[in-house]
Every structure is written in structure tokens, then in C-alpha cells.
Amino acid sequence: MSEKRRLVLESGEIFEGYGFGAEGDKVLELVFNTSMVGYQEILSDPSYTDQAVVMTYPLIGNYGINHEDFETDFPSIGAMIVREYNDIPSNFRADATLGGTMAKYGVAGVYGVDTRAITRIIRDKGSMKCLITSKEAPKEEYLEIINKTTIPNDAVSRVSCKAKYDFENQDEQCPHVVAIDCGMKMNIPRSLYRKDIRVTVVPWNTTAEEIEKLNPDGVFISNGPGDPMDVPEVIETVKALRGRYPIFGICLGHQILSLAYGARTYKLKFGHRGGNHPVKDLLTDKIEITSQNHSYAVDRESVKGTDLEITHLNLLDDTVEGVRCVKDYAFSVQYHPESAPGPEDSGYLFDRFVVNMREFKKEGQKNA
């Protein structure tokens, strides 16, 4: 049996279980994810930086880890909290265990706790800080540690690439997209690449002038961790680029695009994290089943008076899931069209981006 490990919530509850993955005490933001599959994608998604993720599905680790499926080379998630952990995977593609991989990258784990009870607390009281520790101490001492610790707000700069690079080799005649990496999942450039798009990935703090020198046909703003207001540099870059190139944003990129047009964002009580969130496309009246992972949303009322219009709504809580500016060929969605935990309903958005780039180019030629 593994060593005992405690999960202490900022609201005072203490759950005692067992440790797996990396050792060491950590103070993190506690959130939950309702996906039934995809723990490796969650483990390797940079958007979970500094977060302890409670997995509501009761059995985790049973199909192991395959390094071909990673969303990033260096996972930055804080911890995983699970009901039952399986250390003997039964999948012919597995080349490592979940616990071994977590230990390699410094990710803590707790298993043997009541994940349903923890999830209900988060739903009732909202996302909060938590402490993961193996040390025995009075509750007051645990809470003092939590209260004295501030979750860093520099997550994007830590998980973004450090230098520009081209994703794969491709025909230079293909449309060229510059992707601003705010903590991008690797399946995003893969999805663009599959649409015969040449992708150049640049760090989060790349300026509009530097992007212009790359002569793109379009600009993409990626997902990433934290509050979009923590990256004013990216917001200013998008402000400078809007109308000059077609723009497509996903998740954090959606929030950044909205802020660049004058809308506001706010933090959700417990966020959206799962693989089956229903979203209505107001342009087609179709319902998409989507994959989501975010703590912040665009304020619906604040979109009024901007050049944006709302294109998608979440059917669970009526939050904004998509916006567009027709005249600037800019659009964004809050969910993840590159992620397919089952349904592939949202793949059309990459096609829409390709169409926008073609139409923008034709319009430019017409006005030349």
C-alpha cells in the first residue's frame, strides 16, 4: 500500500487517501473533470497548470500512457485526485503507467478518496485552493499554509514555447497560419496541418510587428491556463492584428479575442471541464456535444456595443461559447473542436477558418 496522503480543502474539509505519482506538498486550485476517458490528454493539457483535477469517473489509469498521445512535451498539471487508481494497464499501446509518468513530471496524485463528495463541495462552494500533503498536522496548520499561498498568475509564460518553430514540413504554397502559443494543445496544430495549413508557432509575447513579418494568411490564438487578463500583451497584439488577418481563437484564445474587441470576462463558479457539454450553434440551430476545459467566460451583456456577435451558447448555463466579427473575418469558440472524446461535432470550425482565409485573400485582391 502507498503512503497516506491528505487532500485539505480551503473550506476546511480533509480527505485522507493514498499517494501516487510525485511526492511533496503542493497548494493548488481544486477543480473537477467529468470525462469518462482521456486522463492522459488531461494530464498533458497545459490549461491545467497549477490545478488539482478531481476525476469524477471512478477508475483511472486502466489503459496506461502512450507518449504518442501527449498534448505537450512537459505536463504542467498540479495533481490528479481519483477514486481508484489502476497501476497495471491493459492496453497494447501503453508504454508507461499513469503513476510513473506523473512521478517523472512532478505531478502529485491522491487515490482512495470520495471523489463524488469532493465534486459536490466544489459545485456548492466553487473552485478553491487545496493542499496535498503527506504530513500529519492540525487542521489549523494546514489552513494557514493554504491561506498564505498564492496561486501564481504567470502560467502562460511558463507553458508557452520559448522560440518560434514551424510545425511539421509542408508545401509553402499552402495557407500559412501563425499560431500564438498561450499553452497550446498539440492536437490543434495537428488539426490545422490536416487541413493543408502550414503552421508557424510563436511564443505568447510575440508582437504584432513580429507576426506581420512572418507574412501569415491567418492568425490563431491558442488555449491556455489562467485568467485572460493576466496576458495583456496578447490582448494588445490581437487588437493590432484584427481586421488585418483572419483570426481564429480557441478557449483562452476566445476570451482574448473577446477582450480585444471590448467585451469583458469573469470567473465561473466551478468552470466547465468535461467531454459532453451541449452547445447550440446559433448560426445553424444545430447542437454540438463538446469538450471543454476553462474557468473563465465572456460576459454576455458586455458583447453588446462591440463589433462582435454571439454565435454559440452553452445549453447547461447559457454562457457564451462563441463569437465572431464578420467584417474582420474573426471568430472564436470557448470549447475544443480539436478534442474528440467521442463526438467530432466541431471539426467544421477548422474548415470555417480555411474558408475565411480564402475569402479574405480574394477580397484583398479585389480591392488591390
Tell me the pLDDT of the chain (368 aa) as tens digits. Answer: 689 999 999 999 999 999 999 999 999 999 999 999 999 999 999 999 999 999 999 999 999 999 999 999 999 999 999 999 999 999 999 999 999 999 999 999 999 999 999 999 999 999 999 999 999 999 999 999 999 999 999 999 999 999 999 998 777 889 999 999 999 999 999 999 999 999 999 999 999 999 999 999 999 999 999 999 999 999 999 999 999 999 999 999 999 999 999 999 999 999 999 999 999 999 999 999 999 999 999 999 999 999 999 999 999 999 999 999 999 999 999 999 998 776 778 889 999 999 999 999 988 776 65
Domain boundaries 156-367, corresponding CATH code: 3.40.50.880
* CB 234, CB 257: distance < 8 Å: no
User: 176, 251, 272, 277: which one is catalytic?
Assistant: 251
Active site includes 336?
A: yes
308 contacts 298 by C-beta, under 8 angstroms:
no
C-alpha cell at 236: 494588445
Residue type, 128: M
Classify domain 4-151 by CATH number: 3.50.30.20
- Of 10, 41, 288, 338, the active-site residue reads 338
> Is 251 in the active site?
yes
Residues in the chain: 368
Phi-psi region of 136 (alpha: psi -120 to 50; beta: other; left: phi over 0): beta
Q: Name the β-bridge partners of 286.
A: 281
- C-alpha Rg value of the chain to the nearest Å: 21
SS3 at position 298: strand
The SS3 assignment for 250 reads strand
Domain borders along the chain are: 4-151, 156-367
pTM for the whole thing?
A: 0.96
